[in-house]
Structure 1
Amino acid sequence: MVRDAFRHPLPAYGRGMKRSIERSLERSPFSPGFWRSPLRGPWLTSVLGVVLLGGITVLFLTGLVSYAAYNPDLSPVNDKTPDKGILGFYLFSWPTDPHWLYRLNQGVHVTLGITLIPVLLAKLWSVVPRLFTLPPARSLAHALERLSLLLLVGGALFEFVTGVLNVQLDYIFPGSFYPLHFYGAWVFFAAFLAHVVLKLPLALRNLRQIREERNDLVPTEPAEPTVSRRGALWFVGGGSLLLFATSVGQNFDGLRWTAVLAPHGPADSGDGPNGFQINKTAAYAGIRPADTGDEAWRLVVTGRTGTVRLSRAELLRLPQHSAALPIACVEGWSTSDQWWRGVRLRDLAALVGYDDPPDVFVESLQQRGAFRRAALRANQVADPRSLLALSVNGEDLSPDHGHPARVIVPAAPGVLNTKWVARMTFGDL
């Protein structure tokens, strides 16, 4: 096959160079004889592809839902992708019921993404010979197919790598995670969908065949097998199961110690009634004790009838309400329901002239981080479980959990449950 590239006679002085090039190509990845693993073939590739078809579809949908949970239409406060245009066609007002909605969605999204890593790597390994086929493009249609594969492979690696880095709180990629992951997901899924349309009938046919048809994935000179293809699938499945077992525990307080691959463990929890998961500590956020003391801190509430300044003691004299709600973070970890107690957001809206609660803009004392400011929709403010919490599990909030006051809203992403609240502005943003 390699020699077909040299059909025209060469002068004598060029024959030696020709033979040298031929030998080099035969020892390179561009030669079919280079790829000798007997495991490669249409059946193995098809099995892995079908698993990824279901898994990546769930990842894409839960990712879109996760983005909608941030209420990015509350622009410009919550909008991290202002140039999304038509890509935001599906956005909707995020509900408050069921109260565990975001916890479930993000737990599935992150845990499934980590679990699929061995399957993705095995799939890429199974088709790697096709990346080195010669000539690179036999026709315009073939060139377009190769381009779609480049977008598919590159998009998959980009989405999985940036997702894992975000889970591990390693923000080493250029720019903000939100637009990179959002736009990357659309590019990748478009290439993925085109690939599925082209290859799914062939994959299903390969799965039904008893004997494999020879194609460019089957080695021309296979090496001696050391494991069967089913054994290889068990190996991949075992890797996925191991990643699942060492990451899913971050969604359950009693199993958090098993989540050895998660960035937060039991050591990142508080003590006593405040003894549940902490994402960003007060020290990390730049919160100074002098700013949160009873003498210095005041909550500034602004609305239709003007501005009200409330000390923590004055907030405690307002009607107090309780709600059992979890905290769920974009990185995939969550807590069980905690008992929060404080002033309803709708009651604070009433203090500044709103019988029907509007949207609210919340500002924090926090000095670091992307969500020092956040906005909540009217339906979230109106929910009687939405609180400006002053205590949790029967005890005052600890500094790391947002003392002197924090927002807690059912089904909202953790970053919208603003800690160390300083100002709340009700009405038009």
Structure 2
Amino acid sequence: MGDLPRLPTSPGFWRSPLRGRWFTSVLGLVLLVGITVLFVTGLVSYAAYNPGLHPVNDTTPDKGILGFYLFAWPTGPVWLYRFTQGLHVTLGITLIPILLAKLWSVVPKLFTLPPARSLAHALERISLLLLVGGGLFEFTTGVLNVQLDYVFPGSFYPLHFYGAWVFFAAFVAHAVLKTPAALRTVRRRLREGDEKAEKAEKAEKDADDLVAPDPDPPTVSRRGALWLVGGGSLLLFLTTVGQSLGGPFRRTALLAPHGGTDPAGGPNGFQINKTAAYAGIDAAETSEEAWRLVVTGHTGTVRLSRAQLLQLPLHSSSLPIACVEGWSTADQWWRGVRLRDLAALVGYEGDPPDVFVESLQRHGAFRRAALRANQVADPRSLLALYVNGEELSPDHGHPARVIVPAAPGVLNTKWVARLTFGDL
């Protein structure tokens, strides 16, 4: 025997017996459904930030026509963002083994020569390059953000947003070109069975550029390889999903930063993202003597101490916290002053307007946030002073924090210093 070809551009370089039209088709059809759900839930997550309301909510400028679908985010059901973002993150992590297996199965196509045999082939190659690059970029940045170890230069939000559109455009183009053939391949396997389909694939080897012309001896069947990939995805699912489900399931979320047991006992013993120390909160300025809430609106400005806030009607809401990283808490019992009652103090009786919320926070993103009028008007939206019957701890936003049903966690501003009601 002569020396084996050493260049990736040679078909003989790729010798795995697993590659083939059926193996790639099954993976591709799973990704067709999974990535579509990922993209839709990602768009929903972006809308939840109300990016069209105020520039501080939107770190993705110049989105132009890419923001065509944006809508006012609702306040119900209260678990809405918890579900959509939990699905987005958990599904994204679960699909990683399938994505990697799919990329491995088609990697020979990246090296085929000539680069383009026709216009259709050129479009397919371009979509494949964008698909591979975009897929790796989106999944990598997403995982880094979930793990709170984001290291890419620039903000995660615009990079992930624009990258998603590039990736999904390539994904759609590739799906249009390949889905009909993938469906035919899978249907034939279901109709004719494994043995007949294997013979047909061998007969069509020359027409299938994924099949190695001189494959190595098999050590596992293609069906066995799919079970292995599926098992990897199931393992990631089981060790991640608990951070979104909460309760006893949180202990199964071994690969999630907010999985495991609750961080501490007591009424304030539930997950946090930013500690008071990280945010640069000075205990002296949150003391009873020093802290004042400044409320500004149509009739002017009022300054309220915590003691004065406690003299206003207090209300309770049972609401979770859900964050973009995919984790969420169980419902916590919050007690405080309704946002719409604070709006009434500065001249907005009846239908309250939007509100601009400012925090004492010195470090980290979302030191300020804007909420829509429908969020302010919801009777469950509070400037919370207590949680689960106890004063807020420093890490949970003492002396006061916003809590709004169905809103992303970063819009539930902690260590609130000022509320400005009116046109933003």
Q: Could you tell me which of 390, 404, 410 is aligned with 1:409?
A: 404
Residue deviations 1:232-290 (CA, integer Å, cap 9, x gap): 01100000001001111111132222212112245662430111111111111111111
Question: Which consecutive residues of structure 1, in runs of 5 or more, have no partner in the other structure?
Answer: 1-22
**Mapping of 1:362-373 within 5 angstroms?**
362-373=357-368
AA aligned to 1:221 is D
Distance 1:60 1:241 in 2: 21
AA aligned to 2:380 is R
Q: Which residue does 1:346 correspond to in 2?
A: 340
Contact 1:118 1:236 in 2 (8 A): yes
User: Structure 1 length as normaliser, TM-score?
Assistant: 0.93
Q: Which residue does 2:194 correspond to in 1?
A: none
Contact 1:72 1:79 in 2 (8 A): yes
Q: Which residue does 1:98 correspond to in 2?
A: 77
Contact 2:254 2:260 in 1 (8 A): no
Q: Which residue does 2:94 correspond to in 1?
A: 115
Contact 1:389 1:408 in 2 (8 A): yes
Q: Could you tell me which of 385, 394, 400 is aligned with 1:390?
A: 385
Distance 2:378 2:257 in 1: 32
Is 1:242 aligned with 2:221?
A: no
The 3 A distance-change label for structure 1 pair 222 and 347 is same
**Mapping of 1:118-129 within 5 angstroms?**
118-129=97-108
Residue deviations 1:268-320 (CA, integer Å, cap 9, x gap): 62430111111111111111111110001000000000000000011011000
What's the offset of the Cα at 1:36? 1.0
The 3 A distance-change label for structure 1 pair 295 and 82 is same
User: Structure 2 length as normaliser, TM-score?
Assistant: 0.94
Residue deviations 1:369-388 (CA, integer Å, cap 9, x gap): 11000000000000000000
SS of residue paired to 1:40: coil
Is 1:86 aligned with 2:79?
A: no
Residue deviations 1:339-384 (CA, integer Å, cap 9, x gap): 0000000000000000121000000000111100000000000000
Q: Which residue does 2:49 correspond to in 1?
A: 70
Q: Which residue does 1:381 correspond to in 2?
A: 376
**Mapping of 1:11-26 within 5 angstroms?**
26=5
Distance 1:132 1:109 in 2: 33
Is 1:182 aligned with 2:161?
A: yes
SS of residue paired to 2:211: coil
Is 1:316 aligned with 2:295?
A: no
SS of residue paired to 2:56: coil
Q: Which residue does 2:423 correspond to in 1?
A: 428
Segment drifting more, 269-278 vs 279-288: 269-278
Contact 1:364 1:418 in 2 (8 A): yes
Q: Which residue does 2:33 correspond to in 1?
A: 54
Distance 1:183 1:30 in 2: 32
Q: Which residue does 2:225 correspond to in 1?
A: 232
SS of residue paired to 1:172: coil
Distance 1:358 1:330 in 2: 26
Q: Could you tell me which of 330, 337, 340 is aligned with 1:336?
A: 330
Contact 1:48 1:122 in 2 (8 A): yes
AA aligned to 2:82 is R
What's the offset of the Cα at 1:25? 8.8
Q: Could you tell me which of 229, 247, 255 is aligned with 1:253?
A: 247
AA aligned to 1:233 is L
Residue deviations 1:44-88 (CA, integer Å, cap 9, x gap): 000000000000000000000000000001121212112000000
Q: Which residue does 2:354 correspond to in 1?
A: 359
Q: CA RMSD in A?
A: 1.3
SS of residue paired to 1:95: coil
Distance 2:22 2:260 in 1: 43
Contact 1:266 1:277 in 2 (8 A): no
Identity within the alignment, %: 82
AA aligned to 2:379 is P
AA aligned to 1:306 is G
Distance 2:117 2:180 in 1: 23
The 3 A distance-change label for structure 1 pair 357 and 223 is same
Contact 1:345 1:387 in 2 (8 A): yes
Contact 2:4 2:12 in 1 (8 A): no
SS of residue paired to 1:308: strand
Distance 1:270 1:345 in 2: 29
Q: Which residue does 2:23 correspond to in 1?
A: 44
